Amino acid sequence: MQDKRLFETVMTYLGKEKPKLRILLGTAVALGPGKVALLEAVEKSGSITGAARQMGMSYRRAWNLIEAMNNDFKIPLVKTNSGGTGGGGAVVTKTGFDADAEL
């Protein structure tokens, strides 16, 4: 409860500026502004390919970042569907939405 009050106090003084928060696992960033932007791009485009294009990165880089996020959390942040006749795709899970909302 004390942490929540501290957060609210800090946010009051920051006004419209939103701090950039990062979740660290050891020295690696499990979730930060760049990975949140990737989650948002996946949600908007419905695919890792589209998200990678939107963010100006390679598919491999986007895939590796998503795999890292999914491995860092108990519940995956992005669910992928294999390609084929109907095509593949990716969706942000509820956990992914919750993580995005927190940051």
Per-residue tens of pLDDT for the chain, all 103 residues:
566 677 677 667 666 666 666 666 676 667 788 888 999 999 999 999 999 999 999 999 999 999 998 988 888 999 988 776 666 789 998 777 676 655 5
pLDDT tens for 90-100 read 999 877 767 66
User: What residue type is assigned to position 44 of the chain?
Assistant: K
Count CA within 13 A, CB hemisphere, residue 12. 6
- Burial environment of residue 82 by CB neighbours within 10 A (0 to 12, 13 to 18, 19 or more): exposed
| DSSP secondary structure, 54-92, as one string | HHT--HHHHHHHHHHHHHHSSS-SEEEE--STT--EEEE
The residue extents of the domains of the chain are: 22-102
pTM here?
0.69
Neighbours of 23 (CB within 10 A): 16
Domain 22-102: which CATH number of 1.25.40.10, 2.40.50.140, 2.102.10.10, 1.10.10.10: 1.10.10.10
**How confident is the model over 15-27, as pLDDT tens digits?**
666 666 666 667 6
